[in-house]
Amino acid sequence: MTLSKEDTITMRVLQGLENKSSSVRVQAALAVGTTPDPGFIGKLVERCAIEPDFYVREMLTWALTRHAASMTVPVLLDEVRSERAQARSQALHTLSKIGDRQAWPAITPALLSDADDEVARSAWRAAVVLVPEGEEHELAVVLATQLGRGEHETQLSLSRALIALGEVMSPTLAAATTDPDPRVRAHAIATERLWRDPNAGFESAVEEAKRIVALGEAGQEER
């Protein structure tokens, strides 16, 4: 059987997405995004779940954003329930790039507190993009439960998400600065400092916050 020109191109692109060379995979994803075809959506999403190269994943996400949200969002919503952490993370990342607020109900507290840091970080970023107007305070309350979690990059992601919510998160963040857990207090104080002075840098804000927490604990011990 002789393949049509369109079928030949389709086969070449699909093979390209699975090529051993990351540069070939990038080019294949670029080709799909340049000439969107709904027939590729499933393969793009499938590849996102297993693609090892960050830059290829970014191109896969870009290619998905080039398709109609009405066709990509339902597939991505199924993917955020995947057992594979990378599938959840990349689907959330792509939803944040698409920005369709119909995806908001999928951003559950379970995802916002996912055991995998990359999934949680993607969920935080997606949440601040997709949160409906008027629900920012409730989101801030949920995000604040993750203060003190993880290492530098994870904490910075959460701080940025809270700051992106604006003034509405201020009372919740202020309450966290008196939390019994010193890691939570330090993270909350660092976030406040970064919010008030974006040029301060997160690293210096964290170090200053740790100093403040340590001084506070020393003062309590002397009483």
Give the ranges where the chain is alpha helix by DSSP (H).
5-17, 22-34, 41-48, 54-65, 69-79, 85-98, 109-112, 117-130, 136-144, 152-164, 170-176, 182-196, 202-222
Global pTM value: 0.86
In a 13 Å sphere around the CA of 140, the CA atoms on its Cβ side amount to 22
The answer to whether residues 140 and 166 touch, using CB atoms and an 8 Å cutoff, is no
| pLDDT tens, the chain, 223 aa long | 444 556 566 788 889 999 999 999 999 999 999 999 999 999 999 999 999 999 999 999 999 999 999 999 999 999 999 999 999 999 999 999 999 999 999 999 999 999 999 999 999 999 999 999 999 999 999 999 999 999 999 999 999 999 999 999 999 999 999 999 999 999 999 999 889 887 766 665 666 666 666 665 545 554 4
**Dist. CA 37–CA 34, nearest whole Å:** 9
Domains, the chain, ordered by start: 42-130 (1.25.10.10), 133-223 (no CATH)
